[in-house]
Chains A and B, each alone.
Chain A
Amino acid sequence: MPGIEFLLAALTPYNIMLAVAGVVAGTMIGALPGLTATMAIAVLIPFTFGMPPASGLIALGAIYTGAIYGGAYSAILLNTPGTPSAIATTFDGYPMAKRGDGDLAVTLACIASVMGGLVGAAFLLMLAPPLARFALAFGPVEYFWLAVFGLSLIASLSEGSLLKGLIGGAAGLLLGTVGLAEVGGDIRYVGDFNALLGGFDVIAALIGLYCVPVLIDLVATPDPHLKLTHQVAGFRLREAASIAWRSRFNLIRSSVIGTLVGILPGAGGSIASLVSYSEARRVAKDPKRFGTGEPDGILATESANNATVGGGFIPTLVLGIPGTPADAVILGALLVQGIRTGPTLFLQQGQIVYTFIYGLFIATVLMLPIGLVIGRYAFKSIVSIPKAMLVPSVAMLTILGSYAVNNNVEQVQQMVMIGIFGWIAARFGFTASPIVLGLILGTIAESGFVQGYLIGNARGQPISEFFTRPISIGIIAFTLLGLAYPLITARKHKRSPSNE
């Protein structure tokens, strides 16, 4: 292990206290819909300026990893991802909670998050420099295809109707075109509404599309939000651990996918958890159980999104290029602290870097007890709180969360509008996930395409640029394979035609 001597430096009572406080704060903030890991870090950064650099970094890493985990609570218990990274956790988490296994789902998410966090941190410790070079191999063309790959997953993830999933995805793509194009500078579909210049915000859309329909349905139906089928006693840790052990390959595979996607600047936790989810489902013995409350679904998404934490630090520390939006904030803090990131950081400031990496390990391990305890309280309060109190408090949170995006009332208006649209769409069988994925992936695909075309054009090969680069060919092949897979298995089994 490189720099093992710094493990002791990380293990001071002060650092451990910071890690505990960071994980607690991060988990709570991440659990609130709309308050993202990026925001949690940005708010808490000034407190780290008085600390020694390694300790400050440990605190930020702990907040970050806690916030990504915390996003699972609201995904599981309210069907609303607390952060974009937890979108795919709603697929199986909420059905589990619906059937009374919310506590088990929260415990599973905790185990998976710890596992993913440890794998991501291990990659950061052992293989950071070579993996950073891998990240650089991804150019605009590769991001374009990666986004197309993500969009192709909509097809396999659409529950019920493929056509409706695709229509939802297309609607999301269209929403993503509104506003000032970041690349190209065109102003599209804004009309006289200057509020739309910034486009539709992903977080506002997330809260609106997932949370508002849940709230309306809660009010419209007399049933309690979640039924309690058993006595809430322990954490159901033993049960969860045995499920996790049975699915150890899923956990490891998803953690590695999460780390690799996390390394790519501009991809992030939402893509990581989506890709690992669809992989887990593809190799599962009974893929049809996914989407109906399958524990493997939660294990896949929650390990992958926490693995992006360690993965995202790789380009941030090695190259000075933030791997995720949260890393961009941390990078800013590093610069203010006078730490110069780059290839020489590990050599020249090894003490800071290795102390931080071991601190990240410590914070991740601490997340197990902390996460279990907070998770249990979150579960208990959501199931025991009367509906008359649950609905207004969640409604309040949706407004706070969307306001906090940019400290701006415009995102609240967007959230409400998109939410009502989402509720109507849901009544016609259009689910939220394809729309949100279209919105997130559309902008990645667009800038990748525009940049790739411009670069290709400068080389005199605007079209073949997209089809000749080795990594692009690999992603295209994966996309085609993924799209054809249901057809292949359907033919092999010669059962009733696949309904996906």
Chain B
Amino acid sequence: MKRFYKSIAAGLIGATAIAAGIAVAAYPEKTINYIIAFGPGGESDISARLQEPYFKKLTGQPVAIQYKAGAGGAAAWSQINSTPGDGYTIIGTNIPHIILQPLQKDVGYKTADIATVYWFHYTPDAIIVTADSPYKTLDDLVAAAKKSPGALTFSGSGTNSANHLAQQRFGKLAGIKTTYIPAKGTGASNAALLGKHVSGAFSYSTVGTQLGTQVRCLAIALEKRHPALPDCPTFKEKGYNLVSGAYRGIGVPNTTPKATQQAVSDLIGKINHDPAFIKAMEDKGFAMVDIGLADMPAFMAEKQKEYEELARDMGITKK
């Protein structure tokens, strides 16, 4: 009997899936515009470039990647809802950016205005030191920081960024005080790290894979170790409950009909399950996540709460 109900349920789910499929069976019929809210060469661009061939492979239609940089992404996000919501304009979205920016100032959009339909990966924060650094483990580093508060310096990408938040959170969890040195992007942070102008970098896991043997990853803010960095322990293993990073997703204009939003979400999800895509992403240090349209409200509510608290603690919310 139980099995009977199960198969009915499965049948119903299948039927709705087919029905939804018919409604938007033709999507996409032409080139999709994929807007990147940053300049070329960054993590958002690289992950979009990795996705690019799969649009063509899975749907027969290409994507056209466009850059609309400015104001840390706000220039593009504040304008996305004035483009037609027909599924042919999609935009890369980022957490914590789309949550923190409206908290700090009126930047022309509110978090709720941004219709993200899928979070497809995140770049976990990580502590990276040079290969010849005296800090062999996270414990060495914490001990040194306890001995001389404020003397350890960490470069990272930007102020009030994911890196900066992680540095502050870790300081609190470990009871240490360190100095954060904001850099203009990950590249500049790497230069400061390799040039030993800082004690280490509070950066992304991608730095650990990209700089290879020049650096050592002391801890990564993931639930489990990253396949491309098997020797790098998680903060959790070391007893610090820090799982954080920058989430990247795909958004659409908020006027886009629900069925089309679902179609975009499904398409990104399909790309995200392609084994070759997963391998290419993980090789570069990205961590895959799959948060589709159905899980979106709960996920956003959780992140909103988390970052609001952090922003309050750091005193960066608007007065």
Q: Which residue on chain A has the smallest CB distance to residue B45? A: A332
The residues in B between 123 and 168 inclusive whose CB is less than 8 angstroms from any CB of A are: 150-153, 158-160
Contact A332 B49, beta carbon cutoff 8 Å = yes
Please tell me if A129 contacts chain B, counting CB pairs below 8 Å.
no
The CA-CA distance from A3 to B153 in the complex, in Å, is: 40
In the complex the two chains form, is A197's CB within 8 Å of B75's CB?
yes
Give A41 to B104 CA distance when docked, in angstroms: 35
Q: Is B14 an interface residue (CB 8 A)?
A: no
Contact assessment for A336 and B46 in the assembled complex, using a CB-CB cutoff below 8 Å: yes
Q: Are A451 and B68 also in contact (CB < 8 A) when A336-B49, A343-B214 are?
A: no
Q: Which of B75, B180, B316 contacts A198 (CB 8 A)?
A: B75
**Neighbouring B residues of A455 by C-beta, 8 Å:** 153, 179, 181, 197-198
> Chain B: which residue is nearest A201 at the CB level?
B70
Residue A382 lies at the interface, judged by CB distance under 8 Å to chain B: no
CB contact list, B101-134 vs A, under 8 A: 104-108
Of B186-194, B240-248, B262-270, which stretch is located at the interface?
A: B186-194
The residues of B that contact A265 with a CB separation of less than 8 Å are 187-188, 191
Asked whether, in the complex, the Cβ of B151 is within 8 Å of the Cβ of A459, the reply is yes
A136-B191, A454-B153 known; A336-B68 Cβ under 8 A: no
Closest partner residue, chain B, to A316 (CB atom)? B187
Interface range on chain B (Cβ under 8 Å from partner): 35 or more
- Which residues on the A side are within 8 Å of B160 (C-beta)? 185
B213 CB contacts on chain A under 8 angstroms: 342-344
Whether a CB of chain A sits under 8 angstroms from the CB of B21 is no
Smallest distance from the beta carbon of B54 to chain A beta carbons, Å?
13
- A332 lies within 8 A of B74 (CB): no
The answer to whether A258 has its CB under 8 Å from any CB of chain B is: no
* Complex contact B182–A331 (CB within 8 A): no
Q: Which residue of A lies closest to B184 (CB)?
A: A182
Interface of B is mostly: mixed
Which residues on B sit within 8 Å (CB–CB) of A333?
Answer: 49
Residue of B nearest to A328 (CB): B41
Of A184, A332, A342, A406, which is within 8 A of B211 by CB? A342
Residues of A with C-beta under 8 A to B69 = 198, 406
Is the Cβ of A197 less than 8 Å from the Cβ of B107? yes
Q: A328-B187, A340-B210 are in contact. Are A184 and B182 (CB under 8 A)?
A: yes
Knowing A140-B192, A185-B158, the reply to whether A322 touches B49 (Cβ < 8 A) is no
**Contact in complex: B151, A458 (CB < 8 Å):** yes
Whether A335 contacts B46 by the Cβ 8 Å rule is yes
Of B41, B107, B158, B284, which one neighbours A329 at CB under 8 angstroms?
A: B41
B52 sits at the interface (CB 8 A): yes
> Given the interface contacts A344-B212, A458-B152, A459-B151, does A183 sit within 8 Å of B195 by beta carbon?
no
- Known contacts A183-B159, A332-B42, A406 near B212 by CB under 8 Å: no
Q: Considering residues A185, A187, A319, which has the most beta carbons from chain B within 10 angstroms of its beta carbon?
A: A185
Residues in A lying within 8 Å of B, measured CB to CB: 38, 41-42, 45-46, 49, 135-140, 179-185, 187, 194-195, 197-198, 201, 265-266, 315, 319-322, 325, 328-333, 335-336, 338, 340-344, 406-408, 410, 447, 450-451, 454-455, 457-460
Which B residues are within 8 Å of any A CB, using their own CB?
39-42, 45-46, 49-50, 52-53, 65-72, 74-75, 78-79, 104-108, 150-153, 158-160, 179-184, 187-188, 190-192, 194-198, 209-214, 280, 283-284, 316
Between-chain CB contacts (< 8 Å), 10 pairs: A135-B191, A136-B191, A139-B192, A139-B195, A183-B183, A187-B104, A265-B187, A451-B182, A451-B183, A459-B151
For the complex of A and B, list the 7 residue pairs with the smallest distance between their C-beta atoms, beginning with the closest: A185-B159, A198-B70, A197-B71, A136-B195, A328-B41, A139-B197, A42-B40
Given A183-B182, A197-B74, A455-B181, output 8 extra A-B contacts at Cβ < 8 Å: A38-B40, A179-B71, A320-B212, A342-B211, A342-B213, A343-B213, A454-B179, A460-B151
